[in-house]
Amino acid sequence: MDNPAIYLPEAREAAQEAGRYLLQGLGQKKEVDFKGQVDLVTSFDRRSEEMIFRRLSQAFPDHSFLAEEEIRRDRASDYCWLVDPLDGTTNYAHGLPVFCVSIALSFKKEVVLGVVYDPAREEIFTAVRGQGAYLNGQPVRVSETAELGRSLLATGFPYDVRSSNDNNLDHFSNFAVRAQAIRRLGSAALDLCYVACGRFDGYWEKKLKPWDLAAGSLLVEEAGGRVSNLEGGDFNVFSPHIVASNGHIHQSMLEILSLGLVK
Per residue in 72-95, pLDDT tens?
A: 677 778 999 999 999 999 999 899
Q: How far apart are CA 253 and CA 171, in angstroms?
A: 10
Q: What mean pLDDT do residues 188-197 have?
A: 98
Same domain, 71 and 88: yes
Number of domains in the chain: 2
Q: How far apart are CA 241 and CA 243, in angstroms?
A: 7
Same domain, 72 and 175: no
More confident residue, 238 or 19: 19
Same domain, 32 and 135: yes
Q: Residue 259: what pLDDT?
A: 87
Same domain, 182 and 201: yes
Domain boundary among 139, 167, 200: 139
Same domain, 122 and 24: yes
Q: How far apart are CA 248 and CA 229, in angstroms?
A: 16
Same domain, 99 and 153: no
More confident residue, 2 or 257: 257
CB 142 within 8 A of CB 198: yes
Same domain, 158 and 244: yes
CATH of residue 214's domain is: 3.40.190.80
161 pLDDT tier (thresholds 50, 70, 90):
low
Q: How far apart are CA 53 and CA 229, in angstroms?
A: 30
| Burial category of 45 from C-beta neighbours within 10 Å (exposed 0-12, middle 13-18, buried 19 and up) | buried
Q: What mean pLDDT do residues 177-191 have?
A: 97
Q: What mean pLDDT do residues 186-213 have?
A: 96
Q: Residue 6: what pLDDT?
A: 97
Which residues have CB under 8 Å from 46's CB, separation 6+? 69, 70, 85
Same domain, 83 and 121: yes
Q: How far is CA 77 from CA 105, 108, 137, in A?
A: 12, 9, 30
Same domain, 102 and 152: no
More confident residue, 68 or 170: 170
pLDDT at residue 262 above 60?
no
Q: How far apart are CA 45 and CA 29, in angstroms?
A: 14
pLDDT at residue 263 above 50?
no
Q: Residue 170: what pLDDT?
A: 87
Q: How far apart are CA 116 and CA 105, in angstroms?
A: 12
Same domain, 153 and 252: yes
pTM beyond 0.85, yes or no: yes
pLDDT tens across 6-56, in order?
999 999 999 999 999 999 999 776 566 555 444 556 788 888 999 999 999
Domain boundary among 139, 160, 185: 139
Mean residue pLDDT of the chain comes to 90
pLDDT tens across 105-150, in order?
999 999 999 999 999 999 999 999 999 999 999 999 999 999 999 9
Domain span at residue 11 reads 4-139
Q: Residue 128: what pLDDT?
A: 98
CATH of residue 121's domain is: 3.30.540.10
| Lowest-pLDDT range of 81-85, 168-172, 218-222 | 168-172
Residue % of the chain over a pLDDT of 90: 76
Q: Residue 148: what pLDDT?
A: 97
User: What's the N-to-C CA distance of the chain in angstroms?
Assistant: 40
Q: Residue 36: what pLDDT?
A: 47
Same domain, 100 and 214: no
Q: Residue 73: what pLDDT?
A: 74
Domain boundary among 122, 139, 156: 139
Same domain, 120 and 156: no
Q: What is the DSSP string of 223-249?
A: TT-EEE-TTS-B--TTSS-EEEE-STT
- The dihedral formed by the CA atoms of 1, 125, 90 and 53, expressed in degrees to the nearest 10: -40
